[in-house]
Structures are given as C-alpha cells and as structure tokens.
C-alpha cells in the first residue's frame, strides 16, 4: 500500500510542483530534484528493482545531467531545469528517455513560441501588477522550461514500468 501511494503520488505531485514553481518564480529548488532522486531509490527498493536495472537508470540520469549542464553552461537552460531533467531521466531510465526528451522538446518549443507571441502583445490590464506575469511578458526574459519538462514527464509516466509494477 505504501509502495502504491508513493508510486502514484510522489512523481506526479513533484512534477506539478516543479512546473508551478518555475512558472511563478522562474526557479526550481534543489529540494525538488532531491525528492525525485530519493523517491526513485525508495521506490526501486520497494518494488524489487534489480541492482543492474538501478544502474541503468543511474546511467540515464547521469547522461542527461552531463548534457543538460552543458546546455546550462551555454546559458540555454537554467540550472534547476538541468537538475529536473536529470532526476526525471533517473526515473525513466533509457527505456523511456527518448520519449521524454522528444516530448520535452516539443512542449518547450511550443511554450517558447507562445511566450514570444505573448511578449509581442500589450499586457492586458487585468494581468498588470502581477510580478510573475510581468516577468513572463518581459522581452528577452527567460522561458520557464520546467513546465515543458514536467508536462513531458507526466505524459510519459503512465507508460513506465513503475505503474506496471504497482498494478501487480
């Protein structure tokens, strides 16, 4: 029962929190990624994941961490986004990594296009004075890519072995 509660709620709730945090503050706290990493290991043990499978999941997370920190060093993504992507890759392993990265790219591109269009329009009066909206509207401002990462993760998660293991 504890395993099912963790598997059904921890990952989706943490992803939703990461997306909303990035939207409202343009930051994803380190504790979000740490919760995901810790939750992975707890659930891996509770579901009886083999050490070899855990190793492959760690490899996927490490690969994404290396690439995403390269993107961070170029200024293309934030540090929180890089850590969130790596922690998510840890959960998905190589089996679902390509799907996750493809969806994150599509959602990130769409989000960027929407923000570009939003920034070209005058800010509606009803939204003026809200710091987070004004930050999103600012020309040259960043993109809360954590939204795209979380949306992609929530789309892929139901197809992973985690939910299959919980159904046994």
DSSP string, 27-69: ---HHHHHHHHHHHHHHHHHTT--HHHHHHHHHHHHHHHHHHH
Q: pLDDT tens string for the chain (168 positions)?
A: 778 888 889 999 999 999 999 999 999 999 999 999 999 999 999 999 999 999 999 999 999 999 999 999 999 899 999 999 999 999 999 999 999 999 999 999 999 999 999 999 999 888 888 999 999 999 888 999 999 999 999 999 999 988 776 665
Element (H, E) at 95: helix 79-120
Q: What is the Cα–Cα distance from 91 to 114, expressed in whole angstroms?
A: 29
What global pTM score does this model have? 0.93
């Amino acid at each position: 029962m504890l395993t099912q509660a963790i598997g059904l709620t921890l990952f989706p709730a943490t992803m939703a929190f990461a997306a909303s945090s990035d939207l409202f503050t343009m930051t994803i706290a380190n504790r979000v990624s740490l919760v995901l990493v810790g939750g992975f290991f707890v659930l891996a043990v509770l579901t009886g994941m083999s050490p070899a499978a855990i190793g492959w999941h760690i490899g996927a997370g490490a690969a994404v961490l290396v690439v995403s920190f390269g993107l961070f060093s170029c200024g293309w993504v934030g540090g929180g986004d890089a850590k969130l992507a790596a922690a998510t890759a840890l959960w998905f392993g190589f089996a679902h990594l390509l799907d996750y990265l493809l969806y994150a790219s599509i959602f990130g591109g769409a989000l960027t296009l929407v923000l570009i269009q939003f920034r070209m329009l005058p800010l509606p009066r009803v939204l003026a004075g809200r710091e987070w909206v004004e930050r999103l509207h600012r020309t040259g401002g960043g993109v809360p890519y954590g939204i795209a990462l979380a949306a992609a993760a929530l789309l892929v998660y139901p197809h992973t072995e985690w939910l299959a293991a919980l159904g046994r």
